[in-house]
Structure 1
Amino acid sequence: MSHDHNHAPAGFSKAFAIGIALNLVFVGVEAFYGWTVNSLALLADAGHNLSDVAGLVLAWGGVLAGRLQPNPRHTYGWKKGSILAAFANALLLLVAMGALGWEAMGRLTSPDVSTGHEGATVMAVAGVGILINSATALLFMRGRDTDLNIRGAFLHMAADALVSAGVVVAGALTLWMGWHWLDPVVSLLIAAVIVWGTWSLFKQSLHLLFDGVPDDIDPQAVHDYLAELDGVQAVHDLHIWALDTTQTAMTAHLVMPTWRQDDLFLKGIADSLHERFEITHSTIQIVREPFTTPCRSWGTKK
């Protein structure tokens, strides 16, 4: 059998530590000014931003869980932790946007006519929020396309930067033009945009939790590559699944009635699977006669 153990975890621990620290400070600032000016909006947003800290902690926990060493009871370790964290982050974002939409609908029916000092304070603190959330999102920008868990952290912080920007713009126009309906309308639009962007993360992470084939891998192409190998009569029991948000595993039975190869043949397959499909853990079993019922009818090599 061939089993490739080439790992390349990205180091985002410093980014998580900085992001959590920045957001905890911001929550403290919001809570202080919310209490000082008696602003329920700021106090509520402080509670919302505390959920950002929870989201970052979840994502960091997923990264750290993936670094735990395998043992006889968890032979792959705790790598699924990063997928679970990505799913939890997506779910948290969707719930937060649902709460934002509910609040916005309430304000459309009963407009908040607060103006003056409180409104200016809310805008000023939201402006700081844009900076904090944008800076935190930038910490995770380089990993958002290659790691679903890091993408979850990035989306969470980018979404809150967008919400804070909406608060500033809507607040300024409301103070200037007296359009009290604008704030809830902008909130609903922002919530819709964020839900649209988060839905893909939710679906992908849920798909991987149930051992689905990662979206960037074509299982038929993997089967065809294996089936075209010299001496292979059929491919049985091909399984492809995500170990975590960056590593993919695969197992397969190759029916080879006249197999006389050595380990170099298996090593070549493992190397090709890694290079062509980014499959980092491959286990190949050679059989001369099939002895299991195929899990899927892939067909046989012609």
Structure 2
Amino acid sequence: MEQNKKHEHATLPGSKGRAFSLGIIVNSAYTVLELLFGFMIGSMSLVADAVHNLSDVLSLAVAWIAEKLTHRHPTTMRTYGMKGGSILAALINAMLLLVAMGAIIVEAIGRLAHPEPVQAGLVMAVAGIGILINGGTALLFMSGRHGDLNVRGAFLHMAADAGVSLGVVLAGLLMQFTGWTWLDPVMSLVVAFVVLWATWGLLRDAVNMALAAVPRSLDPAQVAEVIRDYPTVRSYHDLHIWSISTTDVALTVHLERTTREGNDAFLDGLTEALRQTCAIDHVTIQIECGNFSTDNQY
């Protein structure tokens, strides 16, 4: 059996680590502020947006913790270290958000039936701060969004949140000029459904990862093509692709070659091809001798 043991781990440079930590601190402070004002002035849209911002903090924390867990050394009991902790964190995050958004939707529907006066000026002021906070946090991740999936996810999430805060500001502006207090619970429902849409995707992906499914970002047909078309590969079988964390993908495959020469160079080459083409970090290849029935190939 031949295996590639050169597993490389992506590291988060210090500047990106500081971006995550600063984003967590600033957004945590703003979430507390938004919750306090939301309850004080009775604005459900601010409360809903605050819970949304809490999801941002949790998402940033998950990405940061996942990177930290990557550096935990494997043990005899946890042969991949603590990488799977990021998947558990994503599951917990998604379930908490579903419960929180459900509570907000119930409260907002009640407010629609019995609208309460809201200080529109304060709603706009607090949500306006959110535009600056979320927009500024997005800028922290702008430079690294092309080379790191975690950073890209953080950038897109924070940029979208700046847009949600803008929606709350516009609702506050309309309330100030029209006196339509029902706009506040309506905007909270909009925010809640936006978060539910994103949360459903997070929950689906986290469950798939927990069940060792092929990551949604990966095309198994492309992986199979890279293996099948690599020089000297005659056939392959028992191809498995799964996530060992929210950022790390593993692959195992059995294959037969047309020659027995240069196995080490072959393993290194195919592993690098899978890493470069499909972004698979952990590759284990077993080369089999003898004849393998092509009827079992897939």
Specify whether residues 21 and 92 from structure 1 end up closer, same or farther in structure 2 by C-alpha distance, changes over 3 A only.
Answer: same
When the two chains are superposed, the root-mean-square deviation of aligned CA atoms in Å is 3.5
3-state SS of paired residue (1:98) = helix
Q: Could you say which residue in structure 2 is the equivalent of 1:172?
A: 173
Say if 2:226 and 2:273, in contact at 8 Å, map to a contact too: no
Q: How far does residue 125 in structure 1 lie from its aligned partner after superposition?
A: 1.9
1:72 to 64, 71, 76: 76
Per the alignment, do residues 88 and 165 of structure 1 end up closer, same or farther by CA in structure 2, a change over 3 Å counting? farther
Alpha carbons 1:59, 1:86 under 8 Å: kept: no
Match in the other structure for 1:106: 110
Q: Could you say if the C-alpha distance between residues 246 and 61 of structure 1 is closer, same or farther in structure 2, counting changes exceeding 3 Å?
A: closer
Q: Shift in Å at residue 95 of structure 1? A: 3.8
State the SS of the aligned residue for 1:126: helix
- Please tell me whether the aligned partners of residues 86 and 152 of structure 1 are also in contact (alpha carbons under 8 angstroms): no
1:15 and 2:19 aligned: yes
Deviation string for 1:130-169 (max 9, x for gaps)? Answer: 2223322343455667666556655654554444333322
Distance 1:137 1:85, change over 3 A: farther
Matches within 5 A, 1:225-240: 225-229=226-230, 231-240=232-241
- Pick closer, same or farther for the CA change 1:86–1:141 going to 2, 3 Å: farther
* Residue identity matched to 2:67: V
Contact 1:66 1:82 survives alignment (8 Å): no
AA paired with 1:100? I
Amino acid at match of 2:165: S
Give distance in 2, aligned partners of 1:288 and 1:225.
21
Q: So what's the TM-score if we normalise by structure 1? A: 0.78
Tell me the secondary structure at the aligned position of residue 187 of structure 1: helix
| Superposition map of 1:3-42 within 5 A | 3-11=5-13, 12-27=16-31, 29-30=33-34, 38-41=40-43
Paired with 2:243 and 2:146, the residues of 1 have a C-alpha distance of: 16
Taking the aligned partners of 1:192 and 1:260, their CA distance within structure 2 comes to 58
Q: How many correspondences in the alignment?
A: 292
Aligned counterparts of 2:296 and 2:188: Cα–Cα separation in 1: 50
Gaps of 5+ in 2: none
Contact 2:28-2:54 within 8 A present in 1 as well: yes
3-state secondary structure, aligned to 1:10: coil
Q: In structure 1, list runs of 5 or more residues that go unmatched.
A: none
With normalisation by structure 2, the TM-score equals 0.79
Report deviation, 1:51: 5.7
Assess if the C-alpha contact under 8 Å between 2:55 and 2:93 holds in 1. Answer: no
Report the Cα offset of residue 172 of structure 1.
1.8
CA contact (8 A) 1:59 1:85 kept: no
| Poorly superposed stretches of 4+, deviation over 6 Å | none
Q: Distance in 1 between matches of 2:64 and 2:141?
A: 12
1:182 aligns with 2:186: no
2-side partners of 1:199 and 1:33: how far apart? 28
Deviations along 1:41-62, whole A, 9 cap, x unmatched? 4895697355654443333222
* C-alpha separation in 1, matches of 2:278 and 2:69: 25
Give distance in 1, aligned partners of 2:104 and 2:146.
27
